[in-house]
């Protein structure tokens, strides 16, 4: 596929990923506010996503495959493990940090990814690309400083989430490269199906050791559905763009979350999104706009 059409597909799917992830963060906050348990959200939502993955695998399994060898199995296992751990850390972070800020702060992942890629020698970046990475990180931090203080617990789980998700992204890029299918779309969707089917099995084992409340499957469904769709889009995005470029694009969920958070707070759902001063929302919007600039800078550098 030519360079420019591939980049366009990657950017569009990345923007769609950002939108779905922003929505999923709100859904996770609603569930946790109701139950008070990130663990329950992890278990019930992952089982649902495991079902989604299994159904997708059953329906389209003949259209995609992965060559079985030690290296590919290691990559697959790594994605499964970091996906599960990253999700768990995310749920704990969501219990401490309101949805709009957590969505924005996840933009810090671009720095972690860039550093890991540089250390392992996977990628090299020019001056403009590093400037875009740092600008994106600055914007994410700027949103945080304009809001309420994050607890030490929230900061810890946020940091762990960034590390696990960063490693996961690098492994996902490798995974979509080894999956084979009748098209790029089929291959990327197939990798999501396999990953979440296995993660769902892990959650199902944990389900055996908790007190059952089957009504929670209904409560977890909005998060599970929005996150699973986000992952379908994300894996497709990784088929076209580098790990760092993808993370810069999906960091734009910050600007999406600014509007979502303002609307939710205005409607009176303060347990999901606490009321904040108008000046804070203006500062958050400015920082989100800097993320747009960072994306434009990285895009320009990648083209030239």
What is the rounded CA–CA span in Å between residue 255 and residue 60? 35
202: nearest Cα among 75, 89, 74, 45: 45
Provide the residue count of the chain.
304
Radius of gyration of the CA atoms of the chain, in A: 19
294 vs 274, higher pLDDT: 294
The 3-state DSSP composition of the chain as helix, strand, coil percent (nearest 5) reads 80, 0, 15
Q: Is the pLDDT of residue 101 over 80?
A: no
276 vs 294, higher pLDDT: 294
Taking only the tens place, the pLDDT of each residue in 210-258 is 989 999 999 999 999 999 999 999 999 999 988 888 888 887 776 777 6
Q: pLDDT > 70: what percent of the chain? A: 87
Angle between helices 278-303 and 127-145 in degrees, nearest 10 = 170
Taking only the tens place, the pLDDT of each residue in 264-283 is 666 665 555 556 667 777 77
Mean pLDDT taken over the chain? 84
Site of tokens 């992830």: 21
Which 3 state secondary structure label does DSSP give 64? strand
Q: Is the pLDDT of residue 1 over 60?
A: no
Taking only the tens place, the pLDDT of each residue in 117-159 is 888 877 777 888 888 888 888 887 776 664 557 788 888 999 9
The model's pTM is: 0.84
Site of tokens 């960091």: 251
Which 3 state secondary structure label does DSSP give 65? strand
90 vs 291, higher pLDDT: 90
Residues 264 and 91 sit within 8 Å (Cβ to Cβ): no
Taking only the tens place, the pLDDT of each residue in 3-32 is 567 788 888 999 999 899 888 888 888 898
Average pLDDT on 181-201 reads: 92
What pLDDT score was predicted for residue 304? 58
In this structure, the strands spanning 180-181 and 64-65 are antiparallel
250: nearest Cα among 264, 232, 230: 230
């Amino acid at each position: 596929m030519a360079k420019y059409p591939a980049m366009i597909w990657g950017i569009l799917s990345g923007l769609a990923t950002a939108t779905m992830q922003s929505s999923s963060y709100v859904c996770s906050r609603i569930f946790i506010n109701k139950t008070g348990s990130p663990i329950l959200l992890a278990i019930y939502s992952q089982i649902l996503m495991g079902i989604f993955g299994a159904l997708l695998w059953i329906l389209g399994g003949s259209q995609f495959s992965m060559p079985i060898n030690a290296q590919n199995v290691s990559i697959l296992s790594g994605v499964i493990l970091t996906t599960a751990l990253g999700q768990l850390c995310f749920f704990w972070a969501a219990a401490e940090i309101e949805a709009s800020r957590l969505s924005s702060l996840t933009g810090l992942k671009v720095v972690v990814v860039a550093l890991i890629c540089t250390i392992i020698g996977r990628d090299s970046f020019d001056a403009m690309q590093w400037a875009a990475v740092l600008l994106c990180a600055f914007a994410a931090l700027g949103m945080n400083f304009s809001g309420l203080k994050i607890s030490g617990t929230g900061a810890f789980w946020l940091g762990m989430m960034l590390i696990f998700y960063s490693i996961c992204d690098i492994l996902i890029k490798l995974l979509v490269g080894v999956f084979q299918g009748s098209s790029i779309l089929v291959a990327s969707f197939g990798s999501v199906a396999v990953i979440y089917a296995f993660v769902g099995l892990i959650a199902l084992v944990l389900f055996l050791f908790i007190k059952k409340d089957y009504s929670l499957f209904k409560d977890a469904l909005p998060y599970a559905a929005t996150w699973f769709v986000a992952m379908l889009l994300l894996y497709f995005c990784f088929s076209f763009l580098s790990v760092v470029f993808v993370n810069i694009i999906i960091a734009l969920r910050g600007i999406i979350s600014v509007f979502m958070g303002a609307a939710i707070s205005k409607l009176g759902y303060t347990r999901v999104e606490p009321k904040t001063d108008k000046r804070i929302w203006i500062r958050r919007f400015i920082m989100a706009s800097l993320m747009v600039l960072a994306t434009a800078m990285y895009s320009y550098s990648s083209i030239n």
